[in-house]
Structure 1
Amino acid sequence: MPALLSVTSDQLNVWMVAFLWPFVRMLALISTAPVFSEGAVPRSARIALAVLLTLVVAPTLGALPAVPLFSAGGLWILIQQVLIGTAMGFSMRMVFAMVQAAGEYVGLQMGLSFASFFDPTSGGNTTVNARLLNIFAILIFLATDGHLMLIMTLAESFRTLPIADAPLAASGWFVLVLAGAQIISGGLMLALPLIASLLTLNLAMGIMNRVSPQFSIFSVGFPITLLAGIAMLMLLMPYLAPFLEPRFAAGLASIAALLQGLRP
C-alpha cells in the first residue's frame, strides 16, 4: 500500500506563514487604498483579490523568519504587516483627500456647504462638489493605470521591506506625516482659480450694492454665485487630469519613501 502523506507541524507552520503574512499586508492595503476600498466594492471581492495576489507573489518571496505563527513573535510580524499595508494605502489616499478638500473649499465659496450627504468612503458628510471631484479623480486614476501601478508597488514592497521580525524604523512614519501636509496645500492649489473668481464676483456685487442700494444682493447674490461656480467648474474640468497625474506619481513616490524609511 502507498504510504500516506504525512505533514509535520513545522512544515504546516512554514506553509501557513508563507501565505498568511503576505496576505495580511495585501489585504490591509486593499482595504485602505483608493478605488479598492470604495463602498461599492464588496468585501468578498477585496478578499478574493488579496488571495489571488498572494498566490502570485508568495512563491517569489525569499526565506521568511523562522518564527512560529502562534507565538508572540508571529503576532508581532502580523501586526507589522497590517501597519505596513495600511500606511501604504493611506499614502495614496492622501491624494484623494486633497481632491475632497478642494471640493469642500469650492462648495463653501459657491454656497453649497449645506448641500451635503453621507459619504460611505470617508464615513462622514461631504459636500456635493467634494463627492463629484472625488469621482472624477477615481476615473482619472483608473484611466492612467494608477491601480495597476499601486499593485506593482505592493508587489515590489516585499523586496524593499521584506517580512522580518525586526522592529520598524520610526523615520518612515515621519514621511507619512509630512505627506499629509499636501492635503491642504494641494487642495488650495486646485481650488484657487475658482475661489479667486468667486471672491472677485462677490467683491463686484458688494460694490454694486453700495453704489445702487436698490440692488438686493441677498436675492440675486446666491443664484449668480452658484451659476458662476458651475461655469468655473466646467472650465476647470479639462485641467483636472494634468493636475492630478503628477500627484498620483508623487503618491507612489511617497509609498517608496515610506518603505525605505521603515527599513530597520
Structure 2
Amino acid sequence: MLTVTYAQLNAWLTAFLWPFVRIAALVATAPAFSQSSVPARVKIGLAAFITLIVAPTLGALPVVTVFSAQGVWIMVNQFIVGAALGLTMQLAFTAIEMAGSLIGLQMGLGFATFFDPSSNASSEVVSRYLHTIALLAFLALDGHLQVINALIGSFQSVPIDAALLSAPGWRTLVQWGGAIFSAGLLLALPVVVALLVATLSLGILNRAAPQIGVFQVGFPVTLMVGLLLVQLMLPNMIPFFAHLFDLGVDAMGRVAGSLAPHP
C-alpha cells in the first residue's frame, strides 16, 4: 500500500509551487506572454510546463511548510522576482511605444487613437503600429526563448529563499528604465527632426506667400512626410529592435544578480 507522509507532500508541493510563482509572474508581465489575447489557461499551462522542467534542477529548497508565514513570504519573494524580470523586458516595448507616440504627435496623429486590448486603454495609431512590428520581431528573433532562458538562469542568481531582496536590484531596474527611454527618444529623433524642419518650412512659406493657405495643406504634407520617413526607417528598425532586446536580456541578468540577497 502506497503511503505518503506530510513531509513528503510538503516537499513536493514546495518544489513545484515556489518556482511556479516566479515563472507565472514573469509570464503575466513579460512581452508576448502577457498579451490579453493569450488565454489565461494557456498562460497558466505554460508556466506549469516550464516549472515541471525547471523544478528538478533547482536542488535543495528551504525546509519550510508551504502555507506557513515563512512559506508565504518565500512565495511573495518569488512573485516579486518574476514580476521584476518581466517588467525589465517590458520596458523595451514601452520605450518603442513612447517613440511611436512622439512620432504620431509630430505628424498630427496624436488624436488618432483606438482601444488597445493589451493595455485596456487608448493607444495612438503609430505607437500601436511600432509595437506590433516590435512584437513580431521579438518572436522572429526568439526573444521569448531568451527571456525564458534568462528566467531559468535567475534561479542560480536569486535562489529560492526567505531572505530579503537587495535594494541595488531596484536601483538597477530604475537605471535600465532611464537608459531604455533614452533609446526610445533616439528612435523617434530622425522623424521628429525631419517633421520639425517640414513644419518650419511651411511656416516660412506661409510668411512668404500667405495666399497659398498653409493651414489647408500643412496637415497632409506633414502626414505624408511622416509616413514616408517611417517607411524609410523600417529596414533599420529591426536591427535596432534586436539590439534593444539583447540589452533587455542582459538587463534581466543584471537585475536578477542585483536582487540576490547579500550573505
Q: 2:212 maps to which residue?
A: 215
Q: 2:16 maps to which residue?
A: 19
Q: 2:88 maps to which residue?
A: 91
1:192 aligns with 2:186: no
Structure 2 residue identity aligned to 1:64 = L
Question: Percent identity at matched positions?
Answer: 48
Residue 186 of structure 1, CA deviation:
1.3
Deviations 1:25-63 (A, max 9, x none): 000000100001111111111111001001111011110
Structure 2 residue identity aligned to 1:223 = P
Q: 2:169 maps to which residue?
A: 172
Deviations 1:123-157 (A, max 9, x none): 32110000000000011111111111111111111
| SS in structure 2 of the partner of residue 181 of structure 1 | helix
Query: What are the equivalent positions in structure 2 for 1:221-260 lying under 5 Å apart?
Result: 221-260=218-257
Query: What are the equivalent positions in structure 2 for 1:74-89 lying under 5 Å apart?
Result: 74-89=71-86
Q: 2:132 maps to which residue?
A: 135
Q: 2:33 maps to which residue?
A: 36
CA distance in 2, matches of 1:167, 1:219: 62
Q: 2:160 maps to which residue?
A: 163
| SS in structure 2 of the partner of residue 64 of structure 1 | coil
CA distance in 2, matches of 1:56, 1:260: 22
On the 8 A contact 2:106/2:195 being kept in 1, the answer is yes
CA distance in 1, matches of 2:234, 2:179: 21
> Which ranges in structure 2 are unaligned for 5 or more consecutive residues?
none
On the 8 A contact 1:92/1:248 being kept in 2, the answer is yes
CA distance in 1, matches of 2:235, 2:36: 27
Query: What are the equivalent positions in structure 2 for 1:137-152 lying under 5 Å apart?
Result: 137-152=134-149
Residue 81 of structure 1, CA deviation:
0.5
On the 8 A contact 2:37/2:118 being kept in 1, the answer is no
CA distance in 2, matches of 1:122, 1:248: 20
Tell me the matched-pair count: 261
> Which ranges in structure 1 are unaligned for 5 or more consecutive residues?
none
CA distance in 2, matches of 1:182, 1:46: 30
